C-alpha cells in the first residue's frame, strides 16, 4: 500500500508516482490479470457475459487504469528515469495484452456466450450494447491472432511487442529532437515577432543565464517566428531544423529512418499472418470505410474538388509575395509569413490582434457555458492530485430534476493541462483515465478524461492569451472529452469513445470547432487583455470573411498526409521507398512542394506512434459527418443563435450518449434521419 499505483480506490496519485513505483506495480498487476484469465477460462466460470466480466474485466480494467497513468506521465512529464521505467515495463504489458487477446480458451468462452441463446451464433438474451460489445470482441479476437496456431501465433505476439517498442522509440526520437534544439536569437533577429512571444523567449534565455532570446521548436515558440518574423534567414534556419527533426540530418541516435522501415515490415508481416494483402486492409476491418480503394477514391475526389481553389490560393500568394514583400522566389519558410501578411492586407487584421481578446479564463468560461446550455449539465471546479501546478481538475454534473430535492448526479470529471513545457509531448489530445462502467460489484464507475494542449504559458501576473487556432484546438479536444464523459452506456467496451469506429471518432471533436465561428458564441468567449472589452463585431466579421482563407491549400495538405498514409500501408514493399512514395503523392495532389531536404515523415507521429496508421484519412472522413451534423444546428438556429437546446439534446442522445454501443452510421442517422452528405463540408469550407 506504500506504492501509490496500487491503491485500490480513487484517482491516480499523480503527485506521488515515481519511476521506482512502476516495476513492482506492473509486475503485481500482470500477475493478478493472468490469474484472472485462468479463472475466467476455467470450468468454475460459466459461459455467461456477467460471470466472465466479473472475473476478467475487473483485473484488466485495474491494469489498464494504472498503465494509463504511467503512460500519461511519460507523455506529459518525461524524465530519463521515468522513460527507462516505462520502457522496461512496456514489453511485459504488450506481451500479456497480445497473449490474452489471442487466448484460444477465452475465445472459445466468448463463442459459447454468443451461441448460448436462440441458436447458433445468437446472443439475443444480451442488451443491444452488449451484443455490440460481444461482436467487437469476437472480431478483435480474430484480428489479435486467436485463430493462428503454433509458430504463427507466437510470431504474431512477438510482432505486437516489437511494434510497441518501435512506436515508443519513434515518439521518443521526436520529443528528444524537439527538446534538443534551441537557437539564441538577438533582438534584431526577432523584428516583427509579437511582444508576448519575444518576452517569453527572453524569459526562457534568462532562466538559463544566457543573453538574447531562446527560440525552440515547441510550437508556441516556433510558429510566431515563422508567422511574423521579418528575418528570412531566421525563418529558414528554424524551418530547416523543424523539417529535419528525427531524421538522418540530425543526431544518429534520434534518426527515425530505420524505425519507420522496421515498423512497416512488421505491420505487413502481421497482415500476412492474418490472411490480408496489406496492413491497410487489417486497419480498416473495424472502421467505417470498407477498403483502401474506397478511402483513396474519397481522398482523390476531395483533392479534385479542392485543387482549383488551391491553385488560386497559391497564385495569389506568390503574386502578393512578389509585389508586396519582395519575395520573388517563395519558399516553404516564407509561406506562413507571406500568408499572414496577405491575410492582414486583405482582411485588415492579424492573428496577434485577435489573440489579445482571447484570454484563457474568458475562453474557458464561455466554453463551459456552451456545454452547460446545450447539453444540460453543469461544470464545477473539483480537486484531485495533479502532475504539474498548472493542471486543473473539474467535474460535470447533471442537475436534479426540477422540483426534486435530490443531489446533482456526477456525470464525469476531467483534468485540463493547457501549456507547453519541456518534457511534454507536442500537440493536443484527449485521453481517458477510466471509462463509464456498471461494475460487477454494483457500483457505477463514472468516466474521467485528460485534456492536453500545448498553449503558450502565461507571463507572470497575466492571463494566458490564446490564438483563435488555440481556441479551436481547445474546443476540438473538449469534443472528444464530451464523447467520453457524457455517455450513458454502462458496458465499458462500448461506453464513450470505446468501440467507436476510428474514422468516426473525430465527429464530436470537429463538431465542437464550429462554435468558434458563431458570433453569439465568440462575443462571450472574449475579453481584451487590457480593456476587458469583447471582440468587436466588425473584427469578427473580418475573421469570418477570412475563415476559408487558403482552404484549398489546407485541404490538399490533409489529403497529402492521408493519401501518403494509406498508400504506405496498402502497398507491400513500401518500406523500401517511403521518401519516394511521399514524393509521388505530392506530385499527384499537391500544388506547392516542400524542399528536397524536408523529412516530414520522420516526425509523423500520428501514423508511426499515435494509432492513426492507415487511418489518418479519418480526419477528412469525419469532417463530412461533423459538417453535416453542424448543419442541423444551423437549420434550427433561432434569434439567440445556434444554441438550440432541443437540437443539442437530440445530438447528445443520438451521438454522445450512445458512444460505441452501435455503428456510427446508425447514430448519425438517428440524429439526422439520413446518411451524411459531403455538400455541407464543401459549403463550410467555401468550396461549394
Annotated catalytic residues are: 477
Question: What string of H, E and C letters represents the secondary structure of 50-103?
Answer: HHHHHHHHHHHHHHHHHHHHHHHHHHHCCCHHHHHHHHHHHHHHHHHHHHHHCC
C-alpha 62/C-alpha 65 separation (Å) is 5
Contact 228, 193 (CB under 8 A): yes
Any bridge partners for residue 380, and if so which? 395
- What is d(CA 3, CA 16) in angstroms, rounded to the nearest whole number? 9
* Phi, psi of 593, rounded to the nearest 5 degrees: -100, 145
At residue 572, φ and ψ (nearest 5 deg) are: -55, 140
Residue 387 φ/ψ, nearest 5 degrees: -95, -10
Partnered with residue 215 across adjacent β-strands are 183
The answer to whether 459 touches 422, Cβ cutoff 8 Å, is: no
Helix residue ranges per DSSP H, 384-502: 468-485
Count of Cβ atoms closer than 10 Å to residue 111 Cβ: 14
Separation in Å, CA 137 to CA 130, 140, 142, 263, 277: 10, 5, 9, 26, 23
Indicate the pairing of strand 182-185 with strand 213-216.
Answer: antiparallel
What 3-state class would DSSP assign to 182? strand
Measuring CA to CA, how many Å separate 188 from each of 182, 210, 217, 242? 17, 16, 20, 22
Q: What φ, ψ does residue 611 adopt, rounded to 5°?
A: 85, 0
Burial class from Cβ neighbours inside 10 Å (0-12, 13-18, 19+) for residue 630 reads: buried
Regarding beta strands 448-455 and 409-419, do their DSSP bridges make them parallel or antiparallel, or are they unpaired? parallel
Query: For 116-255, where are the alpha helices, taking DSSP H only?
Result: 128-143, 150-179, 195-207, 219-228, 232-243
The residue with cell 446518411 is: 675
Intra-chain end-to-end CA distance of the chain, in Å: 61
Question: Between the CA atoms of 51, 56, 59 and 60, what dihedral angle is there, to the nearest 10 degrees?
Answer: -130
Reduced 3-state DSSP string for 297-348: HHHHHHHHHHHHHHHHHHHHHHHHHHHHHCCCCCCHHHHHHHHHHHHHHHHC
Amino acid at each position: 500500500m506504500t506504492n501509490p499505483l496500487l491503491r485500490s480506490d480513487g484517482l491516480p496519485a499523480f503527485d506521488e508516482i515515481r519511476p521506482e513505483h512502476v516495476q513492482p506495480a506492473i509486475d503485481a498487476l500482470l500477475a493478478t490479470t493472468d490469474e484472472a484469465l485462468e479463472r475466467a477460462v476455467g470450468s468454475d466460470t460459466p459461459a455467461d457475459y456477467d460471470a466472465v466480466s466479473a472475473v476478467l474485466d475487473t483485473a484488466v480494467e485495474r491494469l489498464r487504469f494504472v498503465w494509463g497513468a504511467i503512460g500519461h506521465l511519460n507523455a506529459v512529464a518525461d524524465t530519463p528515469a521515468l522513460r527507462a521505467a516505462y520502457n522496461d515495463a512496456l514489453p511485459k504489458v504488450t506481451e500479456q495484452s497480445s497473449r490474452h487477446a489471442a487466448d484460444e480458451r477465452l475465445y472459445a468462452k466468448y463463442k459459447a456466450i454468443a451461441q448460448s441463446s436462440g441458436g447458433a451464433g445468437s446472443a439475443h438474451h444480451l442488451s443491444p450494447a452488449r451484443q455490440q460489445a460481444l461482436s467487437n470482441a469476437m472480431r478483435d479476437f480474430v484480428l489479435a491472432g486467436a485463430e493462428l496456431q503454433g509458430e504463427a501465433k507466437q510470431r504474431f505476439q512477438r510482432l505486437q511487442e516489437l511494434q510497441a517498442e518501435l512506436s515508443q522509440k519513434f515518439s521518443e526520437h521526436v520529443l528528444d529532437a524537439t527538446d534538443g534544439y534551441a537557437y539564441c536569437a538577438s533582438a534584431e533577429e526577432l523584428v516583427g515577432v509579437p511582444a508576448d512571444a519575444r518576452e517569453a523567449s527572453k524569459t526562457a534565455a534568462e532562466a538559463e543565464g544566457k543573453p538574447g532570446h531562446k527560440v525552440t521548436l515547441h510550437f508556441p515558440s516556433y510558429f510566431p517566428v515563422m508567422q511574423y518574423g521579418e528575418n528570412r534567414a531566421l525563418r529558414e534556419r528554424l524551418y530547416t531544423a523543424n523539417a529535419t527533426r528525427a531524421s538522418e540530418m540530425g543526431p544518429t541516435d534520434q534518426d527515425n529512418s530505420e524505425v519507420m522501415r522496421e515498423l512497416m515490415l512488421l505491420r505487413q508481416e502481421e497482415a500476412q499472418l492474418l490472411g490480408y494483402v496489406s496492413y491497410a486492409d487489417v486497419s480498416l476491418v473495424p472502421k467505417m470505410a470498407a477498403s483502401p480503394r474506397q478511402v483513396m477514391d474519397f481522398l482523390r475526389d476531395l483533392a479534385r474538388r479542392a485543387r482549383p481553389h488551391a491553385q488560386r490560393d497559391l497564385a495569389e500568394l506568390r503574386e502578393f509575395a512578389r509585389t508586396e514583400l519582395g519575395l520573388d522566389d517563395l519558399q516553404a519558410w516564407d509561406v506562413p509569413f507571406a500568408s499572414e501578411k496577405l491575410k492582414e492586407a486583405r482582411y485588415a487584421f492579424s492573428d496577434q490582434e485577435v489573440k489579445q481578446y482571447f484570454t484563457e479564463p474568458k475562453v474557458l468560461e464561455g466554453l463551459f457555458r456552451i456545454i452547460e446550455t446545450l447539453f444540460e449539465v453543469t461544470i464545477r471546479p473539483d480537486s484531485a492530485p495533479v502532475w504539474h501546478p498548472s493542471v486543473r481538475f473539474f467535474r460535470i454534473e447533471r442537475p436534479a430534476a426540477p422540483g426534486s430535492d435530490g443531489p446533482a448526479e456526477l456525470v464525469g470529471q476531467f483534468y485540463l493541462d493547457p501549456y507547453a513545457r519541456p518534457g511534454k509531448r507536442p500537440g493536443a489530445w484527449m485521453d481517458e483515465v477510466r471509462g463509464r462502467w456498471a461494475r460487477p460489484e454494483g457500483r457505477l464507475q463514472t468516466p474521467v478524461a485528460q485534456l492536453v494542449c500545448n498553449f503558450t504559458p502565461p507571463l507572470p501576473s497575466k492571463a494566458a492569451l490564446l490564438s483563435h487556432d488555440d481556441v479551436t484546438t481547445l474546443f476540438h479536444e473538449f469534443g472528444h472529452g464530451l464523447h467520453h464523459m457524457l455517455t450513458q452506456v454502462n458496458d465499458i467496451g462500448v461506453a464513450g469513445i470505446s468501440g467507436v469506429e476510428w474514422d468516426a471518432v473525430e465527429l464530436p471533436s470537429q463538431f465542437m470547432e464550429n462554435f468558434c465561428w458563431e458570433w453569439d458564441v465568440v462575443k462571450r468567449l472574449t475579453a481584451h487583455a487590457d480593456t476587458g472589452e469583447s471582440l468587436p463585431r466588425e473584427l469578427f466579421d473580418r475573421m469570418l470573411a477570412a475563415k476559408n482563407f487558403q482552404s484549398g491549400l489546407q485541404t490538399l495538405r490533409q489529403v497529402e498526409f492521408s493519401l501518403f498514409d494509406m498508400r504506405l500501408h496498402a502497398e507491400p514493399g513500401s518500406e523500401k521507398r517511403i521518401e519516394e512514395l511521399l514524393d509521388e503523392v505530392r506530385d499527384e495532389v499537391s500544388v506547392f512542394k516542400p524542399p528536397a531536404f524536408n523529412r516530414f515523415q520522420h516526425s509523423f507521429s500520428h501514423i508511426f506512434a499515435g494509432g492513426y496508421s492507415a487511418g489518418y484519412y479519418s480526419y477528412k472522413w469525419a469532417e463530412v459527418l461533423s459538417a453535416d451534423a453542424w448543419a442541423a444546428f444551423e437549420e434550427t438556429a433561432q434569434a439567440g443563435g445556434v444554441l438550440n437546446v432541443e437540437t443539442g439534446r437530440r445530438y447528445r442522445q443520438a451521438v454522445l450518449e450512445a458512444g460505441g454501443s452501435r455503428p456510427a452510421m446508425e447514430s448519425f442517422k438517428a440524429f439526422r434521419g439520413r446518411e451524411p452528405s459531403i455538400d455541407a463540408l464543401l459549403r463550410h469550407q467555401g468550396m461549394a
